[in-house]
Amino acid sequence: MKLIAFLRKYKKHIIALLLVFVLILVGKFISKVDFKELGNYLIQMPEMFVGVLVASFLAYTASTIAWKLILGEESKKLGFINLFMIKHVGEILTTFNPTGIIAGEGIKAVYLRKYDVDTRYSVSSIAMIRILLMVSGVFLMLISGVYLIAVKAGDSSKLLYVIITVVLTAVFSYFLMVYLLNPKLYLGKTVEYISKKKSWSFLTDKVISSAYEINKISSNFFMANKVRFIVAFLLCMLHWIFLAVEFYIIFNILGLNVSVIDSIAVQMGVILFITLGAVVPGQIGIEEYGNKVMFDAIGIQSNEVWFVATLMRRARLVFWLLVAGIFMLFISKTSNMKFKSPQ
């Protein structure tokens, strides 16, 4: 408890120190860039940028379709395009707001209410799609880890440990899904149990009731739509793969012989760095350092390639940030601004 209190008290200072440390490392990489060679690479950026934008658009589309499947009949109240815009605004807020997922998922729920989507269904769908993205991402991370250790590095001595980790994570993921989707409503029961053991003021009767209700909706959906649920999971996995294609496009336009599985390994490794550095707004410096570490892991030592790839991914982020701003204006003008009480 003392550690948690310390972290809360000095959160801003810790973030600042982390940011300075990472930026020093990034600055060290930049200082070793051959700007003549970099100039040759930069000429190819327009073509590269178009490819990266297409890949990211396909990634966002895949995860939006997955969310639409989970949301079910309620998604008809706003249509696919509006759902895409709401999801995108929430994800961008998650990236740039230090409160992270809570802020991003919160704004999604707020916007869905503007389109008269039942709050119970919106919250349960938001939670389910986040879990599917997390589990599919972890699965790809494990596959990438096996590939990097056993295939890329050729170190078979650690293969047993990797396999054990994969199996344990798969078992954990399975029980997590059972816990959240079981008709016995374990989630609601857990919240109620905690409320009785802990004096937490936010765990009111209304919160407990909502937990049971959301748990019941999620369970009923899964029991009645198992095929749709599996398709949504595969689409979430496709989301990560399309993001990895961004790296694949960059590498191949720069003339590097890099496979899709290499690109997936890079993407999932970078996602791990981003997740660990989520407290830093925009993960400034964290993502750049993650890129460098993962490029080294697949055998790309060039600081010039790292610089171009980093610049391209940041340019893509800025582009989609501007798009999110346009989406916010559009949603505000076209949706019902009067909030209705939850059904």
pLDDT in the model for residue 154: 62
Residue 318 lies in a domain: yes
Q: How far apart are CA 128 and CA 179, in angstroms?
A: 12
Residue 7 lies in a domain: no
Higher pLDDT, 7 or 208: 208
Residue 26 lies in a domain: no
Residue 17 lies in a domain: no
Candidate ranges 147-161, 285-299, 313-327; pick with highest mean pLDDT: 313-327
> Which of the residue ranges 57-61, 249-253, 277-281 would you say has the lowest mean pLDDT?
277-281
Residue 37 lies in a domain: no
CA distances, 24 to each of 28, 49, 269 (Å): 6, 27, 21
Token pair 């009731």 in the structure block, residue: 209
Residue 267 lies in a domain: yes
The predicted model scores a pTM of 0.77
Higher pLDDT, 342 or 213: 213
Q: Which domain holds residue 223?
A: 49-334
CA-only gyration radius of the chain, Å: 22
Quick check: 108 pLDDT over 60?
yes
Quick check: 32 pLDDT over 80?
no
In the chain, how many domains are there? 1
Candidate ranges 31-45, 155-169, 253-267, 273-287; pick with highest mean pLDDT: 253-267
Q: How far apart are CA 264 and CA 143, in angstroms?
A: 9
pLDDT confidence tier of residue 12, bands split at 50, 70 and 90: low
- Contact yes or no for 266/244 (Cβ under 8 A): yes
pLDDT confidence tier of residue 27, bands split at 50, 70 and 90: low
Question: How confident is the prediction for the chain on average, in pLDDT?
Answer: 78
pLDDT confidence tier of residue 249, bands split at 50, 70 and 90: very high
Residue 298 lies in a domain: yes
Q: How far apart are CA 182 and CA 186, in angstroms?
A: 7
CA angle 280–281–287, rounded 5-degree value? 65
- Joined together, the tokens standing for residue 214 give 């959301």
pLDDT tens, residue by residue, 230-239? 899 999 999 9
Quick check: 141 pLDDT over 90?
no
pLDDT tens, residue by residue, 165-201? 677 777 777 777 777 777 777 777 787 777 776 666 6
> Which of the residue ranges 34-43, 120-129, 252-261, 306-315 would you say has the lowest mean pLDDT?
34-43
Residue 116 lies in a domain: yes
What is the distance, to the nearest Å, from the Cα of residue 147 to the centroid of all Cα atoms in its chain?
22
Percent of the chain residues topping a pLDDT of 70? 73
